[in-house]
Amino acid sequence: MKFLSLKTVLLIMLTFIKRVGGPSSIFALPPEEADPALTLLCPVRALRIYVDRTQSFRNSEQLLVCFGGQQKEKAVSKQSCFLMGTKNVPKRSKFTGKLGPHTMNLISGSFHDGVMLYCHALNETLDRSGARPPGDVINKRMWNRTYHGVTGLVQLDENGDREIDFALWDMTDTNTGVYQIVSLYNGSQKRMIPEPGMKVHWLKGSPPPDIPLCGFKNDKPACLAKTVTMHQMISIVVCFIFIIIVTVTVFIYRKLKLENELTAQLWRVDWEDIQMSNMDKVLRRACSKLTMSLRGSNYGSLLTMDGNYQIYAKTCYYKGNITAIKYVNKKRIELTRKVLFELKHMRDVQNEHLTRFIGACIGPPNICILTEYCPRGSLQDLMESEGITLDWMFRYSLINDIVKGMAFLHNSVIVSHGNLKSSNCVVDSRFVLKITDYGLESFRKETNLEDVHALYARKLWTAPELLRADNPPACGTQKGDVYSFGIILQELALLKGVFYLEGPCLSPKVIIERVAEGRWPYLRPLLCPQSHSDELGQLMQRCWSEDINERPDFNQIKVLLRKNNRGYGSNILDNLLSRMEQYANNLEELVEERTQAYHEEKRKAEALLYQILPHSVAEQLKRGEMVQAEAFDSVTIYFSDIVGFTALSAESTPMQVVTLLNDLYTCFDAIIDNFDVYKVETIGDAYMVVSGLPVRNGKLHAREIARMSLALLEAVHSFRIRHRPDQQLRLRIGIHSGPVCAGVVGLKMPRYCLFGDTVNTASRMESNGEALKIHVSEATRAVLQEFNCFQLELRGDVEMKGKGRMRTYWLLGEISSNNA
């Protein structure tokens, strides 16, 4: 068996100490300054270490570092302390000899006390026969014993361990490595007695634990997990290689998948698959105030402005679904890698507040973009519509939808919008606002607007820094979108149009030029505290600030709005129900209003129909019944014309002739309303009236026509021609009574016509009459005689074309009679 030198053992121990965690994990015992090597204290289980810095440990500076700042525990019974102990031995021992005040080797003294202890134990265990007792009996006899030896009080506990006094040494000077006693441990009293004025300096501020963290044998499970074995090392390496392989595989897979998606062109739409809607020809409207009846039509989504008109997004059917189609003003689209990525990003971006991109057709000349169709129109339509009320709950809901959509857009690959305005915010059937016309930078170029007014009107939402830029980015900037949002806020707050200003109305060109100047005071829309809250006004001012650094982003705007509109609630379902309730109320009001308008229009249409057709005939047509021709036994027909009308027309302009006839017949129509007659038609200067149909009135038809004729003749005497006030209009009237057949002729522009010889005879009576006289036939005179109230004068027999000679009369007037 080979023994190692003490110095070698010391190095091995220090190396072990360093590996297991350094000096903080164990106690060390400092050396005696005079001891040359390691010494074992037999009565005291302690280890004393001596470092000879001048010899083989000169290069082992780790020793000093290892012990630096450490507290060293050693037995108090060193040479100096042992000298103190020998002075008191004679006083409390039974030895006859006297020990002088000189030092004694500690090993010798300890050996002496150990032998004495063994001897005492042996004597006590020897029996009278003198037999040698077993060693364990002698050993246990020494336990739990106290006696005084040459080294002082020797006290053993119940385990056979000596209760000895210890001193705690601390390196008070790390430069020189000097140790001093900072505390004493009294073994008999089992307590620590600190030295006055001394303090223990722990390396880490506190003493090491009684039990190391990993245990004395490093066998705790927590530490075993930290210990890396060879199998664990191999597993780690294998896992690391596996992770690298998986990462590379995923990267290659995603790269190949991206290339496949770019090659597949899932966004491509063939023009043959697009079916235009029935309202394809309806492109323009003079204004953007759409009625609610048009909201559900195919042209409810406002996207662009052109000239003095606004073009509503046309719709088409793609794969059976209605979509919004927007034509691109480009001759051709070159599918570069940049364009392919733009189209792919448009398909990838999905959000409930962004219109869904369906696809694009790039085949010339039908280059267009298909997007989700929103039937409620644009935000601009809602603000200008009189059919729906925008209360503040509804407005805040729309504002929040814009903020959510823009916040998502700014955090996506699209980055910014660049053309945010109220006409690019559309509303779907559930009144959810969605942002459209974003992305696709390559599709936005080559915009040709010949109308200067429209060109500047499109820029009313554009930020001043972009107006001043020579070549602004096609998709704008995020701060520019915030400025545009501020303009939309002002539109929603005041509901007076975009960029509303007090005072004289400025053209869009003047507004854009002053905004682009950027000189104080900056031109901005009007703020009206009576129409909105102060917080909303402050938010507008921050959004359209001239300094882009003062403009908040949409995430900050979202937080600010959440604070400002707490009273309006933020629950999605509550907002949706509130929107639906408001919409239902608006619809009820709108339905009532439209119902009243319908009844009014119906009344007007019926009145017009009653003027064109007899009331009974019109009622039959309203009920969808066929109007059958009907024969009437006795009616009276009135014909009149203007003598000299042909010459008068030749001397007058067409407009003067039309004015003359309109004034005359308006006067006649007002008069005949007072009689039971029906106006059949007017042809030129001819005026035809009948009585006795379609409602029969017995023989009263002759009296009604006679009285009407007298009233018309009296009115003509006082009638004045506008362009010839001094000329008297000469009216010629003919009346005849007899049977006729009446019915409606034709389906388009139906007319109630009279047929029979009575019509021809009445016309002949008019043509053979004289100016300002009423020519009456024999048949009519016979009926009028029964009333005995009309004054008639015989004219005589008159030759009439196709009738021969007929006896006729002049109707001179009406006299009072009891039969009238």
Cβ contacts of 142-149, under 8 Å, gap ≥ 24 = 142/117, 142/118, 145/117, 145/120, 145/121, 147/116, 147/117, 147/120, 148/89, 148/92, 148/93, 149/93, 149/109, 149/112, 149/113, 149/116, 149/117
Question: Do 528 and 579 sit in the same domain of this protein?
Answer: no
Please tell me the distance from the alpha carbon of residue 488 to that of residue 482, in angstroms, as a whole number: 10
The chain-wide mean pLDDT, for the chain, equals 79
Instruction: Retrieve residue 142's tokens.
Output: 């020494």
608 near 622, Cβ under 8 Å? no
What is the reported pLDDT for 499?
92
What is the reported pLDDT for 570?
52
Question: Do 382 and 509 sit in the same domain of this protein?
Answer: yes
What is the reported pLDDT for 68?
46
Q: Find all residues with CB under 8 Å of 435, minimum gap 6, and list them.
A: 353, 354, 355, 402, 405, 406, 409, 417, 420, 424, 425
Question: Do 109 and 146 sit in the same domain of this protein?
Answer: yes
Please tell me the distance from the alpha carbon of residue 177 to that of residue 63, in angstroms, as a whole number: 11
* CATH number of the domain to which 138 belongs: 3.40.50.2300
What confidence tier does 404 reach under pLDDT thresholds 50, 70, 90?
Answer: very high
Ranking 103-107, 114-118, 545-549 by mean pLDDT, the lowest is: 103-107
> Which tens digit of pLDDT belongs to each residue from 271-328?
888 888 765 444 433 333 333 333 333 333 344 444 333 445 688 999 888 999 988 8
Tell me which of 547, 582, 602 is where a domain ends. 602
The mean pLDDT value for 191-203 works out to 84
The mean pLDDT value for 64-73 works out to 46
What is the reported pLDDT for 57?
41
What confidence tier does 364 reach under pLDDT thresholds 50, 70, 90?
Answer: confident
Determine the residue type at 771.
A
CA angle 645, 650, 654 (to 5 degrees): 95
Question: Do 594 and 659 sit in the same domain of this protein?
Answer: no
Question: Do 407 and 384 sit in the same domain of this protein?
Answer: yes
Please tell me the distance from the alpha carbon of residue 209 to that of residue 165, in angstroms, as a whole number: 22
Please give the tally of structural domains in the chain: 4
> Which tens digit of pLDDT belongs to each residue from 212-251?
888 887 777 777 666 667 888 899 999 999 999 999 999 9
The more confident residue out of 308 and 382 is 382
Instruction: Retrieve residue 276's tokens.
Output: 């235009």
147 near 120, Cβ under 8 Å? yes
Is 177 within the bounds of a domain?
no
Is 23 within the bounds of a domain?
no
What is the reported pLDDT for 720?
87
The values of phi and psi at residue 53, to 5°, are: -75, -10
Is 216 within the bounds of a domain?
no
- The count of other CB atoms within 10 Å of the CB of residue 646 is 11
The mean pLDDT value for 124-148 works out to 78
If 0-12 CB within 10 Å is exposed, 13-18 middle and 19+ buried, where does residue 682 land? middle
The more confident residue out of 566 and 310 is 566
Is 110 within the bounds of a domain?
yes
What are the angstrom distances between the C-alpha of 735 and each of 399, 477, 665, 701, 813?
A: 76, 86, 18, 11, 14
Please tell me the distance from the alpha carbon of residue 742 to that of residue 614, in angstroms, as a whole number: 11
Is 777 within the bounds of a domain?
yes
3-state secondary structure of 82: helix
Question: Do 549 and 410 sit in the same domain of this protein?
Answer: yes
Question: Do 564 and 594 sit in the same domain of this protein?
Answer: no
What confidence tier does 77 reach under pLDDT thresholds 50, 70, 90?
Answer: very low
What is the reported pLDDT for 349?
92
Is 619 within the bounds of a domain?
yes
Please tell me the distance from the alpha carbon of residue 719 to that of residue 112, in angstroms, as a whole number: 166
Radius of gyration of the chain (CA): 60
Residue 390 has pLDDT above 70, yes or no: yes
660 near 721, Cβ under 8 Å? yes
The mean pLDDT value for 661-678 works out to 90
Assign residue 814 a region (left: φ > 0; alpha: ψ between -120 and 50; beta: otherwise).
Answer: beta
Residue given tokens 């820029």 in the structure block: 459
Residue given tokens 């009519």 in the structure block: 780
327 near 367, Cβ under 8 Å? yes
Residue 355 has pLDDT above 90, yes or no: yes
Tell me which of 131, 163, 195 is where a domain ends. 163
CA-closest candidate to residue 523, choices 536, 538, 510? 510
What confidence tier does 359 reach under pLDDT thresholds 50, 70, 90?
Answer: very high
What is the reported pLDDT for 546?
93
Residue 80 has pLDDT above 60, yes or no: no
What confidence tier does 175 reach under pLDDT thresholds 50, 70, 90?
Answer: confident
Instruction: Retrieve residue 333's tokens.
Output: 């689209």
Residue 463 has pLDDT above 70, yes or no: yes
What confidence tier does 65 reach under pLDDT thresholds 50, 70, 90?
Answer: very low
Ranking 130-139, 363-372, 507-516 by mean pLDDT, the lowest is: 130-139
Instruction: Retrieve residue 28's tokens.
Output: 């060390």
The more confident residue out of 205 and 507 is 507
End-to-end CA distance of the chain: 166
The mean pLDDT value for 556-563 works out to 90
The more confident residue out of 216 and 480 is 480
Residue 556 has pLDDT above 90, yes or no: yes
Buried b (16+ CB within 10 A) or exposed e, 747-784: eeebebbbebebbbbbbbbbebbeeebbbbbebbbebb
**Pairing relationship of beta strands 284-285 and 425-427 according to DSSP bridges:** unpaired
> Which tens digit of pLDDT belongs to each residue from 618-666?
888 787 777 788 889 899 999 999 988 888 888 888 898 999 999 888 9
What is the reported pLDDT for 447?
54
Question: Do 354 and 448 sit in the same domain of this protein?
Answer: yes
The DSSP H or E segment spanning 424 is none
> Which tens digit of pLDDT belongs to each residue from 9-52?
455 555 544 444 444 433 444 444 334 333 333 333 333 333 33
Is 773 within the bounds of a domain?
yes
Rounded-to-5 percentages of helix, strand, coil across the chain: 40, 20, 40
What is the reported pLDDT for 224?
66
> Which tens digit of pLDDT belongs to each residue from 594-604?
899 889 998 88
Residue 93: domain span: 79-163
Tell me which of 103, 130, 163 is where a domain ends. 163
* CATH number of the domain to which 691 belongs: 3.30.70.1230
What is the reported pLDDT for 53?
37
Residue 351 has pLDDT above 80, yes or no: yes
Above pLDDT 90, what percent of the chain? 25
Residue 113 has pLDDT above 70, yes or no: yes
Assign residue 376 a region (left: φ > 0; alpha: ψ between -120 and 50; beta: otherwise).
Answer: alpha
Question: Do 384 and 517 sit in the same domain of this protein?
Answer: yes
Question: Do 419 and 513 sit in the same domain of this protein?
Answer: yes
The mean pLDDT value for 362-377 works out to 89
What are the angstrom distances between the C-alpha of 458 and each of 148, 304, 305, 673?
A: 112, 9, 7, 57
CA-closest candidate to residue 51, choices 35, 40, 72? 35
* CATH number of the domain to which 543 belongs: 1.10.510.10
What is the reported pLDDT for 567?
59
Is 687 within the bounds of a domain?
yes
What is the reported pLDDT for 128?
52
CA angle 731, 733, 737 (to 5 degrees): 165
Question: Do 659 and 807 sit in the same domain of this protein?
Answer: yes
What confidence tier does 589 reach under pLDDT thresholds 50, 70, 90?
Answer: confident
Determine the residue type at 144.
N
3-state secondary structure of 680: strand
Please tell me the distance from the alpha carbon of residue 723 to that of residue 652, in angstroms, as a whole number: 8
Please tell me the distance from the alpha carbon of residue 431 to that of residue 643, in angstroms, as a whole number: 69
List strand residue ranges (DSSP E) for 61-165, in order: 71-75, 145-149, 152-156
Residue 505 has pLDDT above 90, yes or no: no
Residue given tokens 């042909």 in the structure block: 646
**Pairing relationship of beta strands 773-777 and 731-745 according to DSSP bridges:** parallel
Question: Do 505 and 517 sit in the same domain of this protein?
Answer: yes
Instruction: Retrieve residue 315's tokens.
Output: 């719709």
